[in-house]
Structures are given as structure tokens and as C-alpha cells.
A and B are shown apart, each in its own frame.
Chain A
């Protein structure tokens, strides 16, 4: 079935949207971009803390060993050494699991990187519940919150492998620190080389009149599927890929608040402090003419558990079915 008329053609998504040709983890996009960057810019350095293969920095390491730094299982040192390298005019990508970086090295991120305002770009991989069987200790569900609260940093949560590639290329160009959040699990590739990407500019993938779903990460695709399902039930949902959590796209929030008066946030993160928190901050400062309702969906103040990624998404209501359920329950009250 070809894409419904509600899908935004300008975004060059795959067609049909519900039949992706392939799946890849978003961390692969990060790793591929590093190799592109390494070839075009000799001032790009990459570091890891004993997780080069799983964070996909080993591709860069093989090609540019003279600009790769392995620090061992030492995330605090990872961040500090990166700040020192960056202060010498380099753009430094540091890569580890989200629970450890920015989880373990937040003080170093705060002072050595953000207060110094040096171009260190964190890559937190294996984030969200889709890291699966490793269990709650390894499921980063607070990383967006702790990163975005810091001054000077840009925070991006790509929706798929191609967007992760573009996001990585873009943060290399911007001054100052950044945090890119990716996932371990293979997810549908639904954006294409032709899909636009600009830091701070949310992408509208689907138009709708009743509800505006703002999502990030793997939940963007799941939200599109949920919207298609809800359409047949008479609820018309727009789906916005809010890949940049900081700086959040205030104009997009304002536009959809005015148009639908009903916003929903969907993320693989605690409902506090992440995308939903960022949206709530914007909504609270909108003029009265744009007063709207915001419902936040994510992991609700708990530690999750071991399980297969798709089982966990289903259990915590973050797959298409769960998202449709959340929207339906909150819209029809």
C-alpha cells in the first residue's frame, strides 16, 4: 500500500512507510559518519572507554589510529582527556554506553566540557529499554535529562540510522559540546538520504488535525505506525520527529499547539526531564492564544527489567500499539 496522503512527501521517507526494506541500529550511523568525518577533517579525534566495537568507533580506529584514543574502562578520564584534546583545537567524539557517559562522568561533562565550552561530542549508545536483556542497570532512561540541563550543550536523539549519520556530521560542524543518543537494537530504516536534517529544526513526517505527536528515537517510526492506525479510528495525528531536544524547536511546538491544542510526547526515557520535560517547559511559556494540553508518555518513574527489546517496548507501551493506546486514552476522555 502506498503512503497515505497524510505522510509529508517533502520528507522523502520510504514508501510504503509500513514496509521497511531493512533494519539497522542507529549506532551504525554514528560510526559511519565518523569515518566520513575522519577522511575530510584531520582535526577530528575519536575516543572510547573499552567499547569501541559496540559503539562503532572501531571503524574509525582502523582507518585513523593516530587520531583514536582508547582509555580503558574509565569514563571520567574519557571526558577529561577529551576536554584537553579539544582545547588544542580538535573536535573530539567520545563514545560509551549512555548509562556510563554521561551517566558516570556528569561532573566532568559539566565542568571540563560544558563550562570550558570545548567541542567534545558525547555519543551515548545502548540507550533506552531496547538494550533489553542487560536489564535496568544498563538501560539509560535519564541521560537526556542530565545532559540537557547543562548550559552550552546540544542534545540530539536520532530516529534511525540515517538520521544518526546526518546528526553526527552536523554536530561536528557546530561549536561547543553535544550529546548524541543512539540505540543498540536494529530498527527500521525509514528516513532516506533525501530526508532533511538541521539541528534545532523538527521534522514533520505526518500531518494531522487532532493530535500532534512529538517523538524522538525509535518511537518516531512507531508513532507514525500508531498514527496510521488511529486515522482509521477517526483520530487524526501529526507526527513530528523532535530529534533535537536542545535547543528545542520552539516554533514547531508553538505551531502545533495552536493548530491541534493537543500535544503528546513519546520517548524511551523517564517522563521527567527528557523530551516531554523540554516540551512542558515550552508549553508553559506559550501565550494564552496557544494554550494547549500536553500528555507525556515514556517510562514512568521506575527501573525496568530484562527482556527482549520488542517485548519490553510492548510491555511499557512504547511500540506502535502502546503509543496508539496512550493517545486514544488521553484524547477521548
Chain B
């Protein structure tokens, strides 16, 4: 046990994070995810550009990560003992920014500065602009390599922190992803958990039309990874899968999370056109209306 004075000292030196209290109540988490979706819609409407479908589709996974899975401290983003979170498909950063603001990294009002001159919320994430961003991203296929590098340091130096990486299905077209998959297997990186947003869309259409990826799970298994598949909108499944991944110490884990692009917004679900176009005024009203309906379905806001 660490006494209060020592704890304060450790906090000041950055050796100890206060950690964020983890939320286990699924109803609360679903309401947070709904709030994250609403933020994303408003942010992209304000920004007048950006990528809504993937961002909206990842709201449940980012809620699970930032409010239950990750060991992190929004008030001490450089805490050395934090889990490292790497976003590989940087274009979905609005959902990361929204989850970070919700968790307390920065004021929620700042979300509306997305993509605007002088903002810390760059159109694609920039390490150095905003505390809590571990890596710059944008060009697809690079994040998993960065995550592998971090996990290798943690493994060789026997650190207890883990590395999480969110990547997309479409970026598996890039050869670099498979280079990283091979290397993670070589070093038996059991401290690495990757989550693939399997939403089946990319800019030019459906992934299986543009460049067929299946069978993805079998491919990862053949490369020596531990593979789990979840419903990416079932927060409990996502959390359970991440916990199961921790038990497998001799292999990295890939969680293939099946998601619906634009989830919970009636006109956006499954529509590839919404990959990279922001909602207009009317669409924003409709989207926020849809999300309010969902919110009512989950229950009252009290207690959140």
C-alpha cells in the first residue's frame, strides 16, 4: 500500500496515475456511447467535412475503451504506467475526440473546433497537438506497426501496461498491416490487443468488392494470432473480449468487431456514401432526433 503523502509525490512525478474510475454498468455505458454519437454528429456538421459513418459505428467500442478497458488518466495523459492506445485509421478521430472529451481530457466545448484553424483537434490526429494522442495517423496501415513497437518495449522491459490498437477492415488492403501482423507474432506480443472495425465499407464501396479480405479470422489465426469475434455494438461483448485477450500471454489478440457504419442513424446505416461526407442541417436534425429516440429506449438520463 502506498500512503497518501507518497502517493501525492508519485502523482507529481508522474509515476502514478490516479486512473479513471471504470464504469461497469452497461446502461450507463450505452448512454455515454449515445452521447458520443451525438457529439460526433454535431462536430462533423460544424466542421463541414470529415468521416461520419465509421466514427458513428465505432462509438460503442470507444466508449468501452475509454470508460472501462483502458488504464489511463485524463488528468495525467503522460502517466508512464498508462495503457497505450493507438488509432490506426485516423479518419475516425471525431469519435476518439468525443470519447476523450467525455472522459475529461479537455472541455467538451472544444469538440466544436474540430478541423478549424488554430484547433488542437486536427482533421487527422496529431501527436503533440492534443495531450493523450499517442500517434499521428491518417495514411492507412501504419498504426499497427506503431503499436507493435510499443508492445515490444513493454514486453522486453517487463512493463505491466498493455497496448491497444483500433484499425479498420479497409486498411487491411495495405501491405504494411501484414508486415506488422507477422512481426507481432514473431515476438509473441501477448500484451497487444487490436480491434478491427469490420464495417465492410471503404471509400469506393464494399470491402469484398474493392479487394476481398475474407476469411479474416482464419488469416489472423494462420499468422499466429489469437482471434475473437464480437458484435461491435455490444459493449459488454467488447469488454469481455478485451479481458479474455489479457489471459492469452503468448500471442497477440485480434478482436474482429462487426459494426454497422452510421449505427443508430436511420439514413446513414450501411450506406457507403456516408464514409466521407458530413451531415447537412436537415440531416443533422434527423440524426440527433434518431439518437434521442435511442436514448429514450436505453432509459432516462438520470444517474449518468
Which residue of B135, B150, B180 is within 8 Å of A77 (Cβ)?
A: B180
| A-side contacts of B183, CB under 8 Å | 71-72, 74, 77, 81
A112 to B138 alpha-carbon distance, docked (Å): 10
Would A84 and B126 be within 8 Å (CB), given that A72-B183, A74-B183, A76-B175 are in contact?
no
Interface of B is mostly: helix
A84/B175 in contact, CB under 8 A: no
Report the nearest B residue to A86, measured CB to CB: B149
A259 to B176 alpha-carbon distance, docked (Å): 51
| B-side contacts of A115, CB under 8 Å | 126-127, 136
| A-side contacts of B126, CB under 8 Å | 115
A74 to B183 alpha-carbon distance, docked (Å): 10
Would A84 and B147 be within 8 Å (CB), given that A69-B152, A111-B138, A112-B142 are in contact?
yes
B150/A84 in contact, CB under 8 A: yes
A71/B179 in contact, CB under 8 A: yes
- Residue-wise, chain A 65-108 has the 8 Å CB interface mask toward B (1 for contact) of 01101011010110111111111101000000000000000011
Q: Does A195 contact B (CB under 8 A)?
A: no
A81/B136 in contact, CB under 8 A: no
B14 to chain A, nearest CB (A): 12
A86 to B136 alpha-carbon distance, docked (Å): 13
In this complex, how many residues of chain B approach chain A with their Cβ under 8 Å: the count is 32
Q: Does B202 contact A (CB under 8 A)?
A: no
A69 to B184 alpha-carbon distance, docked (Å): 12
A210 to chain B, nearest CB (A): 48
A83/B180 in contact, CB under 8 A: no
Would A108 and B127 be within 8 Å (CB), given that A66-B156, A77-B183 are in contact?
no
Besides the contacts A74-B183, A87-B150, A111-B139, what 15 more A-B pairs have beta carbons closer than 8 Å?
A66-B156, A71-B183, A79-B145, A80-B145, A80-B148, A81-B145, A81-B152, A84-B146, A85-B152, A88-B149, A108-B145, A112-B146, A115-B127, A115-B136, A116-B135
Q: List 30 A-B contacts (CB under 8 A).
A: A67-B156, A76-B145, A76-B175, A77-B180, A79-B145, A80-B142, A80-B144, A80-B148, A80-B176, A83-B146, A83-B149, A84-B86, A84-B135, A84-B147, A84-B151, A84-B152, A85-B153, A86-B149, A87-B134, A88-B149, A107-B139, A108-B142, A111-B136, A111-B138, A112-B135, A112-B136, A112-B142, A112-B145, A116-B127, A117-B127
Listed from nearest, the 5 A-B pairs whose CB atoms lie closest are A84-B149, A80-B145, A77-B179, A84-B146, A74-B179
Interface residues, chain A, with chain B CB atoms under 8 Å away: 66-67, 69, 71-72, 74, 76-77, 79-88, 90, 107-108, 111-112, 115-117
